[in-house]
Amino acid sequence: MAQKLDCLWMPFTDMQAFARDPLVLQKAEGPYVYDIDGNEYLDCISSLWHVGVGHGNRHYLDRIKAQLDGALTSASLFGSAHMAALDLASRLVAFVDDARLRKVFFSSGGSEAVETALKVAIQYNKIRGRGGDKVVYLKRAYHGVTLGALSAMGIEGDRMGFEAHLSREFIAAESPHCYRCPYGLSRPRCELACAKSLERLIAQHPGEITTLIVEPVQGAGGIIVPPPDYLRELHRICREHDIVFILDEVVTGYWRTGARFAFQAEGVAPDILVLSKGMSGGVLPLGATVVSREIFDTFTAADEVFMHGNTYGGNPLSCAAGIAHLEFVSRPEFAARVHALVGEFAAGLEALKHHDLVGDIRQKGLMAGIELVTDRVTKEPYKPQRPLALLARRHGLLLRPLGNVITLFPMMTVTPSALVDMFVRLDAFLHDLGRMSKR
């Protein structure tokens, strides 16, 4: 095992620390995963926020197996289409259910789908002679790791080392972080100063800002849930200034926020919608960039080809998994279960508030962030002596802490008893942390 571990290089991982405390998983079922020594962990984060329908879900495996047994298994979308891609694209357009979002471009993950969205917007703006090509993103934003997506990285520190190679055309607006409001204001007197920061940037760069990319809830930035009307205000500003509005629902799509897509619940209409993560049930790599009919027609009218694509984007097996996902999450009982779970989740979170370390709990549907502080008045961020994920493992929890924020993404298929189990373990974990912080 030591020799095998020596050959693997994992994403975002301090490999020396990993070598000291390796976690090698062998088996998974529903929300529970097991390592090679047989230890059980409750997966509170749906793996990397992408296995929202439970590990080992038979519906997906059977659908992929049928594709393997009876139909095309390998083909790219270069110069030829195939039935699985046609089927998934048309079903996805129906599921998104927006009169404008009608054209689907497939890729193999979130970063690729974001990259696609940015390049569609850039080429679209060029075709229609819209001068300027600045892209606005938000502070605390996360849109992926490729150099384009990384140029829209708003999390402090996460660009380090790559700064010199990122695009100078990307500029940051304020994050809607009410708990740590950049203006020191509070709702509703703030009058959405964070959203208005986009208008200030537009005034500073007259005519130059052509694209905005945002997450409906900032995920990796610390689960920042914007105040009511925030997205609508951004949408209004984009319309007023003819700015392409890209909504990155890689994390929030497919019921994660309690709605099919966050944009529907918020009453906004993006020009481009970016999807990935859970869209294959978390079993195969898949991303999609859903583009408005108007943008697509502009390419056609100008006789322009979109010069972009990847070999594996929209491959038949991933598309079969994407179809399985639409079948699974379109069942009325799925939505009903999600709605019930949102309430149970909220109650569980509420019961954690008594821990002194808990400064803020931000929840949207079935995603939440618990921000840990050493002082609730000064909001001094809690700095653990040892990695929180490692401490959590002792309590049988798989967690993905982001700095001083513990993120929770329970599976949307979790049973009531497994959800209770999760909160019992979390309570013990926070109790332990509290005890350690007082030492």
Interface residues with ligand PLP (CB under 6 A) are 109-111, 114, 142-144, 215, 219-220, 248, 250-251, 276
- Token code pair at residue 137: 């993103």
Residue located via tokens 């373990």: 425
Q: Considering the complex, what minimum distance in angstroms separates the CB of residue 400 from ligand PLP?
A: 10
* Of 314 and 348, CB closest to ligand PLP: 314
Half-sphere exposure of 194 (CA within 13 A, CB side): 28
Using alpha carbons, select from 300, 207, 287, 303 the residue that is nearest to residue 251: 287
* Of 118 and 238, CB closest to ligand PLP: 118
Q: Considering the complex, what minimum distance in angstroms separates the CB of residue 287 from ligand PLP?
A: 7
* Of 108 and 363, CB closest to ligand PLP: 108
Phi/psi region, residue 351 (left: phi>0; alpha: psi -120 to 50; beta: rest), is alpha
Using alpha carbons, select from 51, 45, 60, 55 the residue that is nearest to residue 277: 51
Q: Output the residue with the shortest Cβ distance to ligand PLP.
A: 110
Q: Considering the complex, what minimum distance in angstroms separates the CB of residue 71 from ligand PLP?
A: 26
Q: Locate the DSSP E strands across 297-364.
A: 358-364
Q: Considering the complex, what minimum distance in angstroms separates the CB of residue 321 from ligand PLP?
A: 14
Strands 367-375 and 380-381: antiparallel
d(CA 210, CA 130): 8
d(CA 267, CA 180): 26
* Of 220 and 320, CB closest to ligand PLP: 220
Q: Considering the complex, what minimum distance in angstroms separates the CB of residue 11 from ligand PLP?
A: 8
Q: Considering the complex, what minimum distance in angstroms separates the CB of residue 150 from ligand PLP?
A: 10
Q: Considering the complex, what minimum distance in angstroms separates the CB of residue 253 from ligand PLP?
A: 10
* Of 280 and 357, CB closest to ligand PLP: 280
Classify residue 30 by its DSSP letter.
Answer: B
Using alpha carbons, select from 87, 32, 25 the residue that is nearest to residue 321: 87
In angstroms, the Cα distances linking 252 to 223, 225, 255, 262 are 11, 11, 7, 6
In angstroms, the Cα distances linking 309 to 163, 250, 262, 277 are 25, 19, 27, 19
* Of 150 and 201, CB closest to ligand PLP: 150
Q: Considering the complex, what minimum distance in angstroms separates the CB of residue 49 from ligand PLP?
A: 7
* Of 109 and 410, CB closest to ligand PLP: 109
* Of 409 and 429, CB closest to ligand PLP: 409
Q: Considering the complex, what minimum distance in angstroms separates the CB of residue 284 from ligand PLP?
A: 12
Half-sphere exposure of 338 (CA within 13 A, CB side): 23
d(CA 134, CA 209): 5
* Of 276 and 404, CB closest to ligand PLP: 276
In angstroms, the Cα distances linking 164 to 167, 173, 191, 367 are 8, 20, 36, 34
Contacts by 161-167, CB closer than 8 A, 24 or more apart: 167/135
